[in-house]
């Protein structure tokens, strides 16, 4: 499938701890972009440092697996100013993550010109079903929250893919 001029070569998916939403988004985006014939570098990270080096939350892994996504081998890491140079597009799961990324972007801009830095956006920015809505953090909730995250992420990933294809 041909790609449009706006198709990024690399996408970073970001949430708070990188153990629930962003690794799930990474698994979904990897699988769905491959099916769509898109070749992108895809990674995930968290704005916080609490879970660095850990695998995704077992509940996130379980729900992802039920939907055909294997995220068990992913390892949490913290987003860094370098990521704004290394990625074309960084998608935040919620508005607070986006604010945190904008602060990191300001640090990165001191090292490089702003035109060389990744574009920042909400995960749902192009998703008509959840337009500019936060992907809710399921960490402190029940099983339903993890299902809601997958439903929203599948919708938003598909919406991004649609914008990247001609």
- Per-residue model confidence as pLDDT tens digits over 36-84: 999 999 999 999 999 999 999 999 999 999 999 999 999 999 999 999 9
Position 6 confidence tier, pLDDT thresholds 50, 70, 90: confident
* pLDDT more than 70, % of the chain: 95
Position 166 confidence tier, pLDDT thresholds 50, 70, 90: low
pLDDT at 86 over 50: yes
Position 2 confidence tier, pLDDT thresholds 50, 70, 90: very low
* pLDDT more than 90, % of the chain: 88
Q: Is 137 a catalytic residue?
A: yes
For residue 106, give both structure tokens.
Answer: 């300001």
CATH number of 10-164: 3.40.50.2300
Per the listing, tokens 């010109």 go with: 113
pLDDT at 92 over 70: yes
Q: Is 119 a catalytic residue?
A: no
Catalytic residue among 57, 94, 100, 137: 137
| Alpha-carbon separation of residue 81 from 40, 105, 106, 118 (angstroms) | 20, 6, 9, 10
Catalytic residue among 20, 21, 30, 127: 21
Listing DSSP states for 85-151 in one string gives: HH-SEEEESSHHHHHHHHHHHHHHHHHS-GGGSPEEEETTTT-TTSTT------TTS-HHHHHHHHH
Average pLDDT, the chain: 94
Cα separation, 22 vs 31, in Å, equals 14
What does the pLDDT read at residue 5?
66
47 and 79 Cβ atoms separated by less than 8 Å? yes
pTM of the entire structure? Answer: 0.95
């Amino acid at each position: 499938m041909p790609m449009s001029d706006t198709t990024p070569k690399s996408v970073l998916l970001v949430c708070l701890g990188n153990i629930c939403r962003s690794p799930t988004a990474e698994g979904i985006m990897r699988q769905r972009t491959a099916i769509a014939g898109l070749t992108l570098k895809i990674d995930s990270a968290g704005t916080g440092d609490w879970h660095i080096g850990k695998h995704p939350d077992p509940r996130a892994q379980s729900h992802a697996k039920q939907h055909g996504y294997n995220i068990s081998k992913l390892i949490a890491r913290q987003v860094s100013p370098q990521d704004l140079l290394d990625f074309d597009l960084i998608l935040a799961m919620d508005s607070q993550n986006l604010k945190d990324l904008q602060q990191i972007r300001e640090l990165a801009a001191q090292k490089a010109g702003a035109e060389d830095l990744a574009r920042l956006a909400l995960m749902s920015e192009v998703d008509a079903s959840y337009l500019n809505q936060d992907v809710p953090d399921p960490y402190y909730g029940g099983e339903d929250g993890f299902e809601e995250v997958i439903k929203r992420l599948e919708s938003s990933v598909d919406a991004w893919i649609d914008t990247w294809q001609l």
